């Protein structure tokens, strides 16, 4: 007699429970470690957020600002844990989770979830608020917003880690919170590849000027595609003996033009 034993193998899948009223509420944070507004937090303290239901998210939906050298996010069932290489002393940190986080039914956060704690005895409490729109003046949610302290070196959205991070809510509103008394440049990035920086073909919005912590940006910032095309040379002409006119396809920032040959008036001509 030949016996056939059929074994079915499969991975257990977490699914929303059947029946009952439809769940339309986003996940709620039930436990924050360290606690919200905690002070004198140890430099190697664990960071963990526990929700009231199973969640769906990716590591790119979670940020800690100011950034730390090593940062690893673990998402499991109802919790998010952040492993880090150590915090700075006397510094206010803010944990931010984007609106991309949802429950198993797809109910996502309406605005970014965030809370702050400090490794010192006081919390920084200032903020900069604003709103992100697209080119048709419709609010855009889920956009990554960076604050760059102007006290540091020149910043570049393609490679500079921001001092503060958040995401816009579904109504386009954002708030960079727990800021020290400094001035910040603000940029919003539609971070499609989720690397945390501005990449090729991604949209960016720039605040028209730098803002002090505590300000509200009076104008909405509009997403646009950055211009990566260099100016084109349109024409070159002379006017008299010593003036050379060079026209480009767009306005350029240049203090002068250096030429390879040396006329009798020197090798540096005024730009007109």
What is the chain written as a DSSP string?
A: ---------------PPPSSSPP-PPP-EEEEESPTTB-S--TT--EEEEESS-EE--GGGEEEES--SSEEEEEETTEEEEEES-PPTT-EEEEEE-TT-EETT--B-SS-EEEEEESSSS---EEEEEEEE-TTS-B--S-EEEEEETTSS---TTTPPPSEEEE--TTSEEEEEEE-S-EEEEEEE--TT-SSS--TT--EEE-SS-EETT-B-SS-EE-B----PPPPEEEEEEETTTEEEEEESS----S-EE-SS--TT-SEE---
pLDDT digits (tens, 9 = 90+) for 249-262: 777 766 555 555 55
pLDDT band at 216 (very low <50, low <70, confident <90, very high): confident
Least-confidence region, from 14-28, 68-82, 128-142, 162-176: 14-28
For residue 181, what are the contacts with CB-CB under 8 A and spacing of at least 6?
Answer: 124, 126, 212, 213, 214
pLDDT at residue 267 greater than cutoff 60: no
Look over the chain and give the mean of its residue pLDDT values, rounded to a whole number: 84
For residue 248, what are the contacts with CB-CB under 8 A and spacing of at least 6?
Answer: 231, 232, 233, 234
Domain 124-228 has CATH 2.60.40.1120: yes
pLDDT band at 12 (very low <50, low <70, confident <90, very high): very low
- Give the start-to-end residue ranges of the domains of the chain: 26-122, 124-228, 233-269
Q: Residue 48 has what pLDDT?
A: 97
Q: Which residue has the higher pLDDT, 71 or 14?
A: 71
Q: How far is CA 185 from CA 113, 148, 168, 173, in A?
A: 22, 5, 16, 17
Q: Residue 148 has what pLDDT?
A: 94
Q: Which of 18-27, 122-131, 145-154 has the highest mean pLDDT?
A: 122-131
pLDDT at residue 183 greater than cutoff 70: yes
pLDDT band at 90 (very low <50, low <70, confident <90, very high): very high
For the entire predicted model, the pTM comes to 0.74
Sort 54 into a burial class: Cβ within 10 Å, 0-12 / 13-18 / 19+: middle
Same fold, 26-122 and 124-228: yes
Q: Residue 269 has what pLDDT?
A: 42
Q: Residue 243 has what pLDDT?
A: 77
Q: Residue 27 has what pLDDT?
A: 96
Q: Residue 217 has what pLDDT?
A: 84
Q: Please compute the mean of the pLDDT values over residues 123-138 and round it to a whole number.
A: 92
pLDDT at residue 120 greater than cutoff 70: yes
Say which CATH topology domain 26-122 has: Immunoglobulin-like (2.60.40)
Residues above pLDDT 70, as percent of the chain? 83
Q: Residue 4 has what pLDDT?
A: 31
Q: Please compute the mean of the pLDDT values over residues 156-171 and round it to a whole number.
A: 93
Q: Residue 257 has what pLDDT?
A: 55
Q: Are 103 and 22 in contact (CB under 8 A)?
A: no
Q: Residue 15 has what pLDDT?
A: 58
Least-confidence region, from 40-49, 62-71, 238-247: 238-247
């Amino acid at each position: 007699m030949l016996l056939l034993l059929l074994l079915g193998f499969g991975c257990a899948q977490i699914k929303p429970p059947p029946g009952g009223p439809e769940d339309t509420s986003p996940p709620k944070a039930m436990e924050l470690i360290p606690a919200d507004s905690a002070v004198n937090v140890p430099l190697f303290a664990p960071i963990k957020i526990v929700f009231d239901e199973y969640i769906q998210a990716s590591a790119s939906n979670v940020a800690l600002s100011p950034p730390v050298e090593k940062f690893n996010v673990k998402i499991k069932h109802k919790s998010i844990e952040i492993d880090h290489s150590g915090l700075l002393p006397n510094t206010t940190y803010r944990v931010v989770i984007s609106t991309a986080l949802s429950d198993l039914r797809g109910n996502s956060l309406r605005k970014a979830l965030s809370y702050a704690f400090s490794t010192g005895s006081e919390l920084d409490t200032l903020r900069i608020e604003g709103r992100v729109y697209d080119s048709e003046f419709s609010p855009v949610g889920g956009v990554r917003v960076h604050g760059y302290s102007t006290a540091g070196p020149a910043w570049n959205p393609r490679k500079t880690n921001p001092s503060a991070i958040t995401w816009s809510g579904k109504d386009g509103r954002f708030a960079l919170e727990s800021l020290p008394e400094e001035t910040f440049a603000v940029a919003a990035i539609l971070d499609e590849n989720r690397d945390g920086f501005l990449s090729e073909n991604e949209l960016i919005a720039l605040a028209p000027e730098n803002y002090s912590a505590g300000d509200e940006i009076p104008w909405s910032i509009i997403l646009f595609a950055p211009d990566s095309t260099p100016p084109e040379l349109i024409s070159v002409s002379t006017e008299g003996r010593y003036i050379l006119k060079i026209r480009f396809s767009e306005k350029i920032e240049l203090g002068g033009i250096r030429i390879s040959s040396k006329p009798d008036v020197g090798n540096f001509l005024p730009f007109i």
